[in-house]
Amino acid sequence: MSKMEKYIKKLNDLDFSDMYNNDFILTWEKTDEELEAVFTVADALRHMREENISTKIFDSGLGISLFRDNSTRTRFSFASACNLLGLEVQDLDEGKSQIAHGETVRETANMISFMADVVGIRDDMYIGKGNTYIRNFSKYVEQGNEDGILEQRPSIVNLQCDIDHPTQSMSDMLHLIHEFGGVENLKGKKIAMTWAYSPSYGKPLSVPQGIIGLMTRMGMDVVLAHPEGYEVMSDIEEVAKDNAAKSGGSFTKTNSMEEAFKDADIVYPKSWAPFVAMEKRTELYGNGDSEGIKALEKELLAQNKQHQDWQCTEDLMSLTKDGKALYMHCLPADITGVSCDIGEVDASVFDRYRVPLYKEASFKPYIIAAMILLSKVKDPAKCFAELEEKNTQRQYK
Amino acid sequence: MSKMEKYIKKLNDLDFSDMYNNDFILTWEKTDEELEAVFTVADALRHMREENISTKIFDSGLGISLFRDNSTRTRFSFASACNLLGLEVQDLDEGKSQIAHGETVRETANMISFMADVVGIRDDMYIGKGNTYIRNFSKYVEQGNEDGILEQRPSIVNLQCDIDHPTQSMSDMLHLIHEFGGVENLKGKKIAMTWAYSPSYGKPLSVPQGIIGLMTRMGMDVVLAHPEGYEVMSDIEEVAKDNAAKSGGSFTKTNSMEEAFKDADIVYPKSWAPFVAMEKRTELYGNGDSEGIKALEKELLAQNKQHQDWQCTEDLMSLTKDGKALYMHCLPADITGVSCDIGEVDASVFDRYRVPLYKEASFKPYIIAAMILLSKVKDPAKCFAELEEKNTQRQYK
Amino acid sequence: MSKMEKYIKKLNDLDFSDMYNNDFILTWEKTDEELEAVFTVADALRHMREENISTKIFDSGLGISLFRDNSTRTRFSFASACNLLGLEVQDLDEGKSQIAHGETVRETANMISFMADVVGIRDDMYIGKGNTYIRNFSKYVEQGNEDGILEQRPSIVNLQCDIDHPTQSMSDMLHLIHEFGGVENLKGKKIAMTWAYSPSYGKPLSVPQGIIGLMTRMGMDVVLAHPEGYEVMSDIEEVAKDNAAKSGGSFTKTNSMEEAFKDADIVYPKSWAPFVAMEKRTELYGNGDSEGIKALEKELLAQNKQHQDWQCTEDLMSLTKDGKALYMHCLPADITGVSCDIGEVDASVFDRYRVPLYKEASFKPYIIAAMILLSKVKDPAKCFAELEEKNTQRQYK
């Protein structure tokens, strides 16, 4: 059986019918089969690209990238995904536009979606806002389509909000599936999602939250480690607990980086901001209290400094399973002696894992493309069979 | 007869041969049949998109959007139109580029047009400048094509200048045609284009001018209402008068919002700046007189404040035909209690008309695409017949 | 024999196999036959576009433009070239992104190249940096492709560095080939690459360096003229000398504009900054010495002022061969009395040569497209034959 036949067979065995004409906002809103469909479609798209087979399912159409925060990497991943499927990207930055708050979200959502097949939204700055914005956007375009304003309902892809970062965690997971030779091999593996020191502050919580919310579904032993005071959203911890109970894995917490690294198969050391501090910052921004923001920033940097020992060093790595745990990061990392004086990870550790780290990132365009395709194509198995049969070359060679 | 057959038949009955290889700058430079061709092509394109039929008439090529003023909505409409026809959009903002004044317009026009099939220009900031800029640009690319510099002559689409906003007024008109069930049903209808209070100042005159310059051609009774001192360009009033005389409609002016609303079938209440003030501002900008600009701004805001009673309230709406006139706006509107304390329109009025307002806006990408297609395709009827016959799916389903 | 048959025959006679899967960084790294292949492919692409034949060799794929300096013209040329071949452009400006220095170049190179078929880089600001950046970028994506991170190795096109500006000099050369009726007619022609006064300072050296590095290969008599103290990089002068020796032309230097213009067939008067001053500026920027930068700027402007007599006047033009030398410039030029009080060229001279100047610029998109195509297509002759046979219309007509 060829690779493509295997992908097609797998898709035919999975139930993911609810993904059609739907959004991808949080991984824990999706069934296991739906997540598996995403991984399968992502692998199939990558395979076809390697084989120089065009996967354009759109002859024309727009993919809107709506970013409230700058991001080269996610922007390029989204653009790559859209292009792979035949959509042209149109960017909407706050700086460029007249986007405002409240009621005007409805208007903007409709005004930019007349010919939009997908809208990728990144809104991770303020706790309690980003996810709400995405959901409102989705509601408004759904309504706009029903009212005959929009010829199509654009699907929404969450490119990072205050709660989850599903395109990141799904890419990370697909990376693990490939590194460990199959999702079934992840069962019982220990993954340490740990806080790490960074000289900057205020990094989003969506990565650790996304990781514990997803990895607990595969029967893995997920350990969340951070200094006291760096708690993530408690709702997501509940999600992780429930997942672990269902999947036969575990979810535990510790305030010791050593304990988390001990015998770990995978480590994911990364800085983030305390949830409560981010709530406070959101409030201060809301009140336009710039003095308060400065004071909070100073306070948080001082708090961070107390935990400079939370670094992913060679010594810590030697505590992991055979001293060879897979090191992961969403990039860019704060590398000690390279991008900063003291940071999240030793340069020698980072260097040793550079190739897997870059591969980890390389899955993101395919994950995003898979999310789009599954929301747009009713029968992806049939679609792939037809694309392979048609065999249009992506590039003249 | 199918819908497409009707559109094709209509196009075969109209004479619009002068639109081929030509620009769209002012509606009053076009014949009635030419305008009807735009509406027909726009409807046909929308119909084909609804039917999932690709309307790509370009295999490659660029659509340049040249904006001297930020605009999310018009930018997205232009991008949508280009994409629908197969053109890739390339933006040229003043901020991004080395665009300068005077002689360099000729150079820029040529330098960005080597592979440009269409250039959409928005230049509405300064009275007496925008339209001139567009015409110079057109002249230079025409010359560039004749001189063998440009392989093709890009068509110019006016995306808003100091005189007219043809893509807006044509979208508004197509909206009316659909709302009233045909252009023939607009004869004798009363439309009130009225000034309305806004807490900001300096909004372009091109919308009211575009509306009175176009609506007077359909046998409608067009009333222009504004406080004393908020006159629009007198040349355009002359255009409106001449149009009304020819079409069997009427063009009248009043300084009473009530009088304008009385028995109106359609109302279009919207803020704009006095023409003379905009002339003055243009001069001040030209002299770099920032003190003068600040003083003028203060003066204009104070002048505006004297006319806070010019609001589209429920009371005013009740004066219209059966209390049910169609409310129109080019968006975004200043909504009382929503986007400002006191604005152009009551929230309850705006809310009641939200769906038609969004639909009004939804015609713009198709109007722009129609203008492009008519300037590029010699026989659109034949083109549509071939596209329908070919029946390439826009999106795999 | 048709035009296309001639192009195809020529390509079949040339050896340019090393260009496949390779970069275009400096013209003097390429063989004469490779350069001739670029000119031939550029002419063929232009011919096919004139004949309305699609030259899309990509069904999807991205062309990344990575600019460290703003440039409307080069940006549009690159976008046009990509679009002509079927690639969608994605811009990466420093302002928009998280690009940093040193080690992070490797990361950025990989992160933006997952689906990049070509990366065009402009980095001309700092002496000793730009070319190094381009070479590092190339090395990193080559490695990324070998490591299985990147599905393809994007080709790099140098869109201007501190050393060479190959897309400019190659466009200039193709312009000369067309103006003089063939590359064989350039033998023995005298070209004066001379410094000219400009009220601004710090213009890149890559244009004069690119010109003397390329034009000396065609058997031309190349004269480099500038005031004392405005030397270009000595390495490139060596390149020019070697080239001249091999091609049977000559490379001479003078500090007299008159001498350079005397009996010249072609003149290229243009401002640039002294190499040593640019080295100093680079160091000052590196040290963040803003006072030093200001002082240097003042000094350089004063130095420039001493050479205000270096203008391309009508009097000087009359010294050239029959008073009719071809005037060239990379544009935009500083035109006396038009874009500045005293500049590089008299308005009457510039005006007389406007059409050839614009034509000179019009070759750039085709030169860039040719560089891309030659790096991506193994057998361009076969590719062109197939494209012609297929005869897909670029634009419905």
Q: pLDDT for B296-328, tens place per residue? A: 999 999 999 999 999 999 999 999 999 999 999
Pairing of strands B190-195, B266-270: parallel
> Does A397 fall in a domain?
no
Measured distance between the N- and C-terminal CA atoms of chain C, rounded to whole angstroms: 27
> Does B201 fall in a domain?
yes
Question: Rounded to a whole number, what is the distance in Å from the CA of B373 to chain A's nearest CA?
Answer: 16
Note every long-range contact of A302-305, with CB atoms under 8 Å and residues 24 or more positions apart, other chains counting.
A303/A229, A303/A274, A304/A197, A304/A198, A304/A199, A304/A201, A304/A271
The candidate with the shortest Cα–Cα distance to B64, out of B53, B54, B75, is: B75
Are B255 and B377 contained in the same domain? no
Are A230 and A275 contained in the same domain? yes
Longest Cα separation, chain C: 65
Neighbours of chain A (3+ CB pairs under 8 A): B, C
Would the CA dihedral through B171, B177, B183, B185 be positive or negative?
negative
Q: Do B72 and A144 touch (CB under 8 A)?
A: no
Are C97 and C228 contained in the same domain? no
Q: Is C147 on the interface with A (CB under 8 A)?
A: yes
Provide ipTM, 2 decimals: 0.95
pLDDT value of position A81: 98
8 A C-beta contact, residue C140 and residue C132: no
The candidate with the shortest Cα–Cα distance to B165, out of B217, B117, B123, is: B123
> Does C332 fall in a domain?
yes
pLDDT value of position C343: 96
Using CA atoms, how far residue B204 sits from A162, B77, B342, in Å, is 39, 19, 20
pLDDT value of position A102: 56
Question: Rounded to a whole number, what is the distance in Å from the CA of A111 to chain B's nearest CA?
Answer: 6
CA dihedral A202, A205, A207, A212 (to 10 degrees): 150
Mutate: best of B358, B359, B393, B397, partner A, most A CBs <10 A: B358
pLDDT value of position C68: 78
pLDDT value of position B103: 63
Q: Do C149 and A355 touch (CB under 8 A)?
A: yes
Chain B to chain C Cβ contacts (< 8 Å):
100
Q: Do C99 and A395 touch (CB under 8 A)?
A: no
| Least CB–CB distance from A147: residue in B50, B80, B355 | B355
| Residues of A in Cβ contact (< 8 Å) with C378 | 397
Query: What mean pLDDT do residues C340-349 have?
Result: 96
More confident residue, A16 or A1: A16
| Least CB–CB distance from B332: residue in A102, A107, A114 | A107
Q: How many distinct structural domains can be found in chain A?
A: 2
> Does C397 fall in a domain?
no
Q: Do A394 and C102 touch (CB under 8 A)?
A: no
Are A377 and A301 contained in the same domain? no
Are B55 and B103 contained in the same domain? yes
Are A37 and A125 contained in the same domain? yes
Residue A98: band (very low, low, confident or very high) from pLDDT cuts 50, 70, 90: very low
Task: For residue C81, give the chain B residue with the closest CA.
Answer: B115
Residue B98: band (very low, low, confident or very high) from pLDDT cuts 50, 70, 90: very low
| Least CB–CB distance from A115: residue in B54, B83, B392 | B83
Q: Do B61 and C395 touch (CB under 8 A)?
A: yes
Chain A to chain B Cβ contacts (< 8 Å):
100
Would the CA dihedral through C92, C96, C101, C102 be positive or negative?
negative
Residue A258's domain comprises: 168-361
> Does C137 fall in a domain?
yes
Q: Do B70 and A144 touch (CB under 8 A)?
A: no
pLDDT value of position C97: 44
Distance, CA of C95 to CA of C117 (rounded, Å): 23
Q: Is A377 on the interface with B (CB under 8 A)?
A: yes
8 A C-beta contact, residue C130 and residue C124: yes
**What CATH number is associated with residue B382?**
3.40.50.1370
Are C148 and C200 contained in the same domain? no
Using CA atoms, how far residue C360 sits from A84, A182, B82, C286, C322, in Å, is 35, 57, 29, 36, 22
Are B376 and B357 contained in the same domain? no
Are B76 and B95 contained in the same domain? yes
| Residues of C in Cβ contact (< 8 Å) with A76 | 90, 92, 111-112, 114
Neighbours of chain C (3+ CB pairs under 8 A): A, B
> Does B35 fall in a domain?
yes
Are C312 and C279 contained in the same domain? yes
Mean pLDDT, chain C, integer = 94
Q: pLDDT for C35-68, tens place per residue? A: 999 999 999 999 999 999 999 999 999 999 998 7
Q: Do B83 and A148 touch (CB under 8 A)?
A: no
Are C290 and C311 contained in the same domain? yes
Task: For residue B63, give the chain C residue with the closest CA.
Answer: C80
Question: Rounded to a whole number, what is the distance in Å from the CA of B38 to chain C's nearest CA?
Answer: 18
> Does B395 fall in a domain?
no
Are C259 and C338 contained in the same domain? yes
- What the block records as the tokens of A209 is 């939250």
For A113, half-sphere exposure in the C-beta direction (CA atoms, 13 angstrom radius) is 32
Residue B102 has pLDDT above 60, yes or no: no
Residue C144 has pLDDT above 60, yes or no: yes
Question: Rounded to a whole number, what is the distance in Å from the CA of A178 to chain B's nearest CA?
Answer: 29
> Does B328 fall in a domain?
yes
